[in-house]
Structure 1
Amino acid sequence: MTASTSHRETTTADGRLSRYPVFLRVWASQSAGAVADQLLPVAFALYAVQRGAGAGTIAVILAGRAIALVVCLLAGGILADRVSRPRILFTADVLRAATVLGALLTLNRLPLAALGIVTALSGAAEAMSRPAMRSLIPALLPTGLLERGNALVAAVQRSATLIGALVGAAIVAAIGIRAAMGLASLLFATGAVAVLGVRDSVAGARTRTGVLADAAAGVKAIRRRPWVVAVMTAVAIQLFAGTAPTMTLLPLVATEQLGGELGYGLVLAALATGALPAIALASRWRPRRPGVVGMLALSSYAALPASLALALPLPVTAICFVIGGFAVELYFVYWLSALQRQIPAEVLGKTLALDQLSAFALLPLGYALAGPAIAAFGVQPTLLAAAGLTAAASVAALLVPGVATFSDPVGTKSDPAGG
């Protein structure tokens, strides 16, 4: 075990996040950008529907972000372990603000499919900031407050989903796409300004190695922990088989059966609403087997595609999305906190990036196959298959030793440096 890891494990906390103002500063800096991140895809999807686009075009627009995350996440993780993480956060927000503003000024000349490029550029900046934000948290908080700190960050992100979905849908329906894009650009710029002056106390102490060696160290840290590989695989299957067809069909189903744009926003808001009580629970409850709790909860995400497959009325569909939101967030807080404890600080950024990369690796393929699958098999069979695969993958992961506790099994010796 490294000295940095030992320090993180032995530091105690008094239970109050207010005693860590630098953490709160970083947390606040990401709040505005989180709203913009959620506002944009809702606005773009509804704008595409208004312009008469079908499932294929919507999938292209949404896939841009997923492709960028796959391509850029590992680079973001390597950067997070090499340079100042607050500087990465600032640069990412500036790039997103400039990208959205540029698209706004040229919107009349952009074909609908080109919005996929906008989401891709924004997703690339997001890929730079995600590992930096998540690997910065254990440097700002003692280990006893990791669940609470991660829960607070997640609460902002899920509240942002709620606000972004409702605001994005309302603005596009009442005013138009340009107002939504202008607000998103302003929010990104606000996030960049808020992080100015925050310092990363460990940035100067990191070992400088080659980029390939950095990437290899992150891969080794994961390969030496089969339980990490199992969970990553389950989540990748869930996003590929569950999220891609669900999010591709949701705006179309909402337009036909759930009341249009506001129905779409309400369903997405329900997803965020379900996450909030899960965040509160995870910040206080430390189960002995967090993996069992997290993976069994995650299997209930199958309720999302199932609700669309069965053409349930809006209130029931919203309840299913509440359940899905609760499940995902309960899992995520325990999972992220486990990685922050189990993975040494010197490879944490890369490991978190690879975690996200593995999750999103199959998502572009899922979006690409959603349209053909729907055309070949129909909407209902595609969504029912999505529900079945989502539930099965999460439960099957529990068969791997270590998944039940989200930690190395007793007696396992892992190279602390991941090498």
Structure 2
Amino acid sequence: MVHDTVRSPSVLRSTQFLRLWTATTASGIATWALPFVLGLAVLSRSLTAVELGILLAARTAGFLAAVPISGVLADRYARRQVVLWSGLISAAAAPVLAVFVGNSLVLAAIAAIAMGAGQGACRPAFSALTAEVVEPDQRQQANAAMTMSIRVTTLVAPGLTALLALVVNTQGLLLGIGALWLAAALMPPAGTGSVAPPSGAGFVTEFLDGVREARRHPWFLAGLGALSAVIATGYSATGVILPLVSRDRYGTEAVLAGALTAYTLGALAGAVLMARWRPRAAGWTGLFGLALYGFAPLVLLLPVHPVVVIAVYAIAGLGIDLFNVPWFTATQREVEPSKLARVSSLDFLMSYGLAPIGLALIAPAVTAYGAGAVLIACSVICFAAPALAALVPSSRDFGTPEKA
């Protein structure tokens, strides 16, 4: 049996949440837009493909370096202030990148590092701030609404950015990204959490305190392991091999575009569903959804009709937000509030940090063992990792079950 609907008042009636939602949406659009805009610069010959790769790698390095530091800062100081300074750093980096992109690769890379650092620094702080701004019984709605904004952005933004590129050059678009980061910095409301007195411990010690807090929750470690495995293998394999299958088996890029669009639409449907649905076994439901991604590499093995590929990607997208929404909600509910940002930073560091490693290893693996073997291995991991996580007793509900 499940709770069919959420009986609490809509979180969208909260001005504080709407301000937070607007800020996170602005940061999400800015995060998505940078690689797309830099890709347009390659098309206009302002950048080479190698320079694009260097700038994106620099941004990723800044992101990964800032995430654990931000987790400590957001637990040590007011989360609102950490969001403010994170957004301002990215906003300030945008005009620098606009000036030097195509002119000085070194200075442009430094600006990309700074922008990535601001992006990485805001993520744990936003997650912890959500727990302060939103009442416990409305957090699932709130997390679903934030996920929906990401999916809608992914659907709509490419076309809008391409249209803007007809009348605005790369520098103008980068300044627009800076304006989005400025909005992300200034819009969030003040949180209600009290700042703990300084412990006098160093950054490493405080971060390790967050790791110890994460270890207190077996469901968290199991779920994070499953998520990291799926991202490092399934996401990476389909990211590398799907374009090749679309070109070589079907002879058209339409299958690639259709699959990616279907994935986003499926994820959007999952977020809409989870805004209203509260399954009794929320953890098992989420892990089942995560395991659905195993069909994505599997379908690339088979000579099926393109519609089947697109349908499978829609199912995979549905599943990923069946996992994401209860995962974020449970983390905000179960983790000690004074350590929430550090635990969230560990989440982002492991799941997103392993993605570049997976992408880097997939191509050599395909060369060495063949695409078929790689896809089979990735599919098995995507099915097995959530199943193993589900064996952890507390994973059934991602911690203590919510009371009816």
Q: TM-score, normalised by structure 1?
A: 0.80
Residue among 151, 154, 158 paired with 2:144? 151
Is the contact made by 2:93 and 2:178 (CA closer than 8 Å) also made in structure 1?
no
Residue 338 of structure 2: which of 346, 353, 359 is its match? 346
CA distance in 2, matches of 1:198, 1:228: 27
Letter in 2 for 1:39: A
Distance 2:357 2:69 in 1: 21
1:36 aligned to 30, 33, 36, which one?
A: 30
The aligned residue for residue 366 of structure 1 is 358
Matched, 1:335 2:324: no
Q: From 363, 366, 369, give the equivalent of 1:377.
A: 369
Say if 2:91 is the partner of 1:80: no
Structure 1 pair 32–266 and aligned structure 2 pair: CA distance change class (3 A): farther
Q: CA deviation at 1:45?
A: 5.5
Change in CA separation of 1:60 and 1:378 when aligned onto 2, cut-off 3 Å? farther
Match of 1:186 among 176, 192, 199: 176
Give the structure 2 partner of residue 415 of structure 1: none
AA aligned opposite 1:79: L
Structure 1 stretches of 5 or more lacking a match? Answer: 1-11, 410-419
Instruction: Check 1:48–1:389 CA distance in 2 against 1; reply closer, same or farther (3 A cut).
Output: farther
For the aligned residues, what is the CA RMSD? 3.5
**2:388 is equivalent to residue 399 of structure 1:** no
* Matched AA of 2:33: L
Q: 2:190 aligns with which of 194, 200, 205?
A: 200
User: Letter of the aligned partner of 1:186 in structure 2?
Assistant: G
* Alignment-derived partner of residue 123 in structure 2: 130
Q: Distance in 2 between matches of 1:134 and 1:313?
A: 41
Cα distance in 1 between the residues matched to 2:69 and 2:34: 24
TM-score, length-scaled by structure 2: 0.83
- Give the Cα–Cα distance (whole angstroms) in 1 for the partners of residues 368 and 269 of structure 2: 39
Q: Which amino acid aligns with 1:208?
A: P
Aligned position for 1:278: 270
Match of 1:106 among 71, 75, 100: 100
Counterpart-to-counterpart distance in 1, 2:103 and 2:35: 19
Give the count of matched residue pairs: 392
In structure 2, list runs of 5 or more residues that go unmatched. 1-5
- 8 Å Cα contact 1:40/1:180 also seen in 2: no
2:294 counterpart residue number: 302
Partner of 2:3: none
Identity among equivalent pairs (%): 27
Q: Which amino acid aligns with 2:20?
A: V
Quote how far apart the aligned CAs of 1:377 are: 2.3
Shift of 1:369: 1.2
Counterpart Cα distance in 1 of 2:99 and 2:260:
28
1:398 to 1:203, Cα distance in 2 relative to 1, 3 A: closer
